Amino acid sequence: MLHKLIFILPLVSMMAWSAAAAGEDFRQLYAHARQKMQSGDYPASIAELNKALAAAQLSSEEVAVLFDLSYACLKMSSLDEAMRYLEQILDIPDLAGNDRNRVYLQMADVHAAAQKYDDAIDDCMEGLGKVTANADKYRFLMKAGHVMNTKKDYPNALDYARQALALCQDNVQNQFMAKRFMIWIYSAQENYPAVIEVFTRQELDAMTVDAKKSFYPSLISAYMKVARNMQADKNYDKSMEIYCLLEKDKGLKPEQRAEACMGEASILKAQKKYSDAIKTYNVVLSIPETKPEHRKIAQKAIEQLQAIIAQPQPGNADKQNGHN
């Protein structure tokens, strides 16, 4: 009996060592494959990922590798292969709910890349039907919106974005993402008045500069276009309101602030508020990042306005003549 026990103990130790060694092999292979992916060398990453897949011991390891294989194939436009890897994941027993959701989301990406937009929407709707949490529903609705946006079906893209927004009233980050997406859709439609209604002024003021970076260029561009259009229609009060809001926004770049000040000054000039216009044009000149063309316009406008102010006014001349 003692002899058998002595024999079994080394065998158990050897099996444990073998499993540990296999686990270490997987981690090294997978880490190397991920490095190749991150460098954009997708053909090499696929070869390394297949090695990692062969060394995988756990279903979670297999799932991770299959997702990466699908993604690498998607980046290489090998769409049928990308889809096959995702289907393999769905065949894994006891697949976690989050992984299942990710499969349907990635399937939608593959179908959209193949311009099979109806199939991509079907992926989103199938995934949507399998979840109950609002956060998960939000992800599928946003993905459907992005699919429709890629198709340039803007009304349906906007509808999905609004549905997603309605599900995340208690999630500030998701609200931000949904509203940012709505801005992209409105901008693609050149519906700039709608763009400036997406975020309230309070929401914009509360955002950090970093939070604004990803979408602020398009938002500011939209605000500027609306202000210019209103100015052209002689709706000076509303146009001035937008320019002033932009000028005071800490998220603006200096050159953007200069452009907003240019708008203010031109309105003041049109309203014959010459002294105020000169002050605002001087603000434009005080900003080092002001574009050369704006600097030239501002300098010329100041000279013109100073000359106008220096001219004797007809009323004043009559009074002077009457007095004499």
CA distances from 246 to 7, 101, 104, 259, 313 (A): 80, 41, 41, 9, 35
pLDDT exceeds 80 at position 117 = yes
pTM of the model: 0.72
Please name the residues in contact with 305: beta carbons below 8 A apart, sequence gap of 6 or more. Answer: 269, 274, 277, 278, 281
Q: pLDDT digit string (tens) for 47-81?
A: 999 999 999 999 999 999 999 999 999 999 999 99
What is d(CA 102, CA 105) in angstroms, rounded to the nearest whole number? 5
% of the chain at pLDDT higher than 70: 88
pLDDT exceeds 70 at position 22 = no
Give the DSSP per-residue string, 237-280. Answer: HHHHHHHHHHHH-TTS-HHHHHHHHHHHHHHHHHTT-HHHHHHH
Q: pLDDT digit string (tens) for 259-298?
A: 999 999 999 999 999 999 999 999 999 999 999 999 999 9
R_g of the chain computed on alpha carbons:
31
Q: Domains along the chain?
A: 25-95 (1.25.40.10), 111-189 (1.25.40), 204-311 (1.25.40.10)
What is d(CA 228, CA 188) in angstroms, rounded to the nearest whole number? 19
Please name the residues in contact with 104: beta carbons below 8 A apart, sequence gap of 6 or more. Answer: 123, 124, 126, 127, 130, 140
What is d(CA 272, CA 224) in angstroms, rounded to the nearest whole number? 22
Burial of 311: CB neighbours in 10 Å, binned 0-12, 13-18, 19+: exposed
What is d(CA 24, CA 289) in angstroms, rounded to the nearest whole number? 55
